[in-house]
Amino acid sequence: MRKFGVLAATIFITILTAGVYGILHDQVTYSISPEYFTKFKYRQFGFEPAWFNGHRQTVAVIGFLATWWVGLWIGLLVGLTGLIYPDHHIMKKRIASAIKIVFVTAVIFGLIGFLQGRYSLIETGVHWWFPEDLIDKNNFIIVGSIYNYSYLGGIIGLIIGIAYMFRGYSNEKRKQQSIKASPLP
């Protein structure tokens, strides 16, 4: 029964963690391209900055809403994978490590997205929709690239995190089998 408590806590924690990640992510990307939000994300979410007392607060709400659901999926998939462990203590430890892997990978991919946008996509161009009244197309492209790579990093991090958990399970099982097979002194 404790394992299901760990599963529920994992889902809750990953939703909050992803939401906070989204808030911070969007504060940084707003600094790079306010237009990405005022001319794209606001329209996408149907928001007006006056609703949340200014741009930064509106961007924070958008950041949370754009990522909490990713945390739900991360929590579900990592948490359910954690049920393979026989002990809730090991389960918690492996889940925590897997979640760190997911978020670190997302951050690294976001940085790669910045570099790709800044040093390649601006030069080669993209086939994205752009608002007609867009003034700073280059920074809009950079932020779009950061967004795309961050989501990709979350997916790749999730795969790596789950693989890490299965490998840890195999190692634990192998260790237990070798303990059982070794003769007592």
The model carries a pTM of 0.88
Q: Residues of the chain with pLDDT > 90: what percent? A: 84
Question: Which residues form the domain of 88?
Answer: 2-181
Q: What pLDDT is attached to residue 48?
A: 83
Digit-coded pLDDT (tens) for 90-136 = 999 999 999 999 999 999 999 999 999 999 999 999 999 999 999 99
Torsion sign over Cα 41, 47, 53, 57: negative
Distance CA 104, CA 157 (A): 8
Distance CA 9, CA 79 (A): 9
| Domains held by the chain: number | 1
Mean pLDDT of the chain: 93
Distance CA 33, CA 16 (A): 25
Q: Between 52 and 73, where is the model more confident?
A: 73
* DSSP state, residue 46: T
